[in-house]
Structure 1
Amino acid sequence: MTAQIIDGKAFAATVREKVASHVTRLKEENGITPGLAVVLVGEDPASQVYVRSKGKMTVEVGMSSFEHKLDADVSEAELFALIDKLNADPAVHGILCQFPVPDHLDERAIVARIDPAKDVDGLSVTNAGRLAAGQAALISCTPLGSLMLLRDRLGSLSGLNAVVVGRSNLVGKPMAQLLLGDSCTVTIAHSRTKDLPDVVRRADIVVAAVGRPEMVRGEWIKEGATVIDVGINRIDAPERGEGKTRLVGDVHFQSAAAVAGAITPVPGGVGPMTIACLLANTITACCRANGLEEPEGLTV
């Protein structure tokens, strides 16, 4: 068997088209322009790239983009004052602080300071609790994007066995909650799970989010299973020349693709869905703030 490649880049483009269409309707019918504010602290090169990309795509779908760049030595009080200002700004419907931040700042405290109704990263304890309780929440973007890809590939997920390899607050736990919400039988596994290959081998759906390069091997995969690889790891690639690197996921792609029914590549799989779902969450937050119907297909 050769797995179908799940094209996250193409699907993310479709999500952004839906977002842009709904933004146009909000402007024309309600006079509202959704706004996304991004806060960047310091000069981390990767963070600067991510923020530029988010800002560009925000503008492309017709939203307002507010970027706030702060010095690396900014005090917690100054950062919190900015977040409080954004919380109170009716033109801002989504707020995120780009992580990592300098060591003197507490990421958990930053997330807690953001109004949960504007927490488009879905990281707050409030949104995590709402998701676990089956209530309306803003959902962490990577799990939300993964669920969209699974629904597009499989249709109904009801009754399927799903294994999530990884237990992080960012991906593993919310992914498990989303799969439960779609009536899967869910196992959360991790690096210390006994007989991990056997646990994974029973799954119709495997979501790998453990942060270890190519940890999940093809012999772990049930024939015909759908594999969502959330991992993004940079490893040495001497075959490309001295000092060269390449990106790989948490799944050994070649061996898994020979067994699975469908699989996401790295790059080009889950990654593009993350920013697309950030934009989708901003639309959702905007509609909820204004008592409007939420866009179909952009939330759960």
Structure 2
Amino acid sequence: MQHQETNTISGKELGNQIQVEVTDQIKKLKLIPGLAVVLIGNDPASERYVSIKQKAALNVGIVIHVYRLNEAVTEEEVLQTIDWLNKDKEVHAILIQLPLPNHLDEDKIIAAMDPKKDVDGFHPENIKAFLADSSLFAPGLVMGIIQLIAATNEPLPGKQAVIVAKSEEFTKTLEHALEPFEITSTLVHPDAPELLEKVHTADIIITAVGKPHWLTQDMIREGAIIIDVGTKDVSGKITGDVDLSCWNTASWISPVPGGVGPMTVAMLLKHTVLLARLSTEQNKN
């Protein structure tokens, strides 16, 4: 059987377009959007991601401050920092860089943020609001994935999507975000016995496992669209879930790096501007 050529869904190109739009929006605003990033510990991958976000924010005209906390910081100290940022009127958006050290309760720390400053959109109140009304603020990661799928220009209604991930918040919000496109989603845990069967019949595979190259050519159907959300630092190189062999069978793949990563950064900038605008409108009323 002759294999089709796989197309790249370039998050870099799409992300650059969004950054141009964001720069224009900031020029029209009567204020400078402020973003605070809380970085705990010195995980090399987190350091790299924060550095990318800093550079992108400065490029578009967002003031970004990184608050670095020691690996051994107490939960109380983290919560105090968040409380202080919640009250700072010049901070319109807060990002907690994940993952956190094991001794910290991730859910508790995310829930401590003012929902109106939660730029990632994973505060429980924001997830609840989005699940009730999909026209509202969706998590940046989820919106980035949706835009990558839409960028294929493939007819999407009726397609079957399989989301392979462990995080319930992520899978639930992504499933909800796919509904307006009339895409049917199935959520599969990476350890589920039915994983291979579900993946093999899927039109769209969204993998967020963080296990390098686990998804191979023999596991997917011809013409599948694959969005690779999984990232792992392998000897200093960012590697995704998707094996190179899939490039002979899939119709579209978002690569790692250069796919979901740049889109997530672009959505972070876009959402920072949105939160800044909403806070200004709120202060007027």
User: Partner residue of 1:285?
Assistant: 275
Q: Is 191-200 or 180-189 further displaced after alignment? A: 191-200
Q: Would the aligned equivalents of 2:22 and 2:270 in 1 still touch at CA under 8 Å? A: yes
Matched, 1:222 2:182: no
Letter in 1 for 2:156: L
Q: Give the letter for the 1:25 counterpart.
A: K
The verdict on how the C-alpha distance between 1:135 and 1:291 changes in structure 2, with shifts beyond 3 A counting, is farther
In the comparison of the two structures, how many residue pairs are matched? 279
Check 1:73–1:271 CA distance in 2 against 1; reply closer, same or farther (3 A cut). same
2:239 paired residue number: 248
1:204 paired residue number: 203
Equivalent pair of 2:79/2:112 in contact (CA under 8 Å): yes
Distance 1:288 1:74, change over 3 A: same
The separation in 2 between residues aligned to 1:179 and 1:56, in whole angstroms, is: 31
1: CA distance between counterparts of 2:203 and 2:153?
A: 10
Q: Match of 1:263?
A: 253
Residues 61-100 of structure 1 mapped to structure 2, 5 A cutoff:
61-100=60-99
Checking the alignment, whether the CA contact within 8 Å between 2:134 and 2:176 is kept in structure 1 is no
Shift in CA distance, 247/38, structure 1 to aligned 2, threshold 3 Å = closer
Q: Residue 5 of structure 2 aligns with which residue?
A: 2
Query: Equivalents in 1 of 2:155, 2:115: separation in Å?
Result: 30
Conserved? CA contact 2:164–2:189, under 8 Å: yes
What is the TM-score when the length of structure 2 is the normalising length?
A: 0.88
Identity %: 37
Alignment-derived partner of residue 187 in structure 1 = 186
Q: In the superposition, relative to structure 1, how do residues 165 and 77 fare at CA in structure 2: closer, same or farther (>3 Å)?
A: closer
Q: How much does 1:94 deviate?
A: 0.7
- Is 1:166 matched up with 2:169? no
Residue type of the partner of 1:252? D
Measured in 2, the distance between the counterparts of 1:170 and 1:9 equals 26
After superposition, give the CA deviation of every residue in 1:159-179 in whole Å (9 maximum; x if it has no partner).
322111124146433222211
TM-score if structure 1 supplies the norm length? 0.84
| Equivalent residue number for residue 17 of structure 1 | 20
Deviation at 1:147, TM superposition (A): 0.8
Structure 1, unmatched stretches of 5+, are 236-243, 293-300
1:7-56, CA deviations, whole angstroms, 9 ceiling, x for partnerless residues? 11121111111111111111xxxx12211111122333332332222222
Matching residue's letter, 2:259: G
Amino acid at match of 2:96: C
Q: Per the alignment, in what secondary structure is the counterpart of residue 151 of structure 2?
A: helix
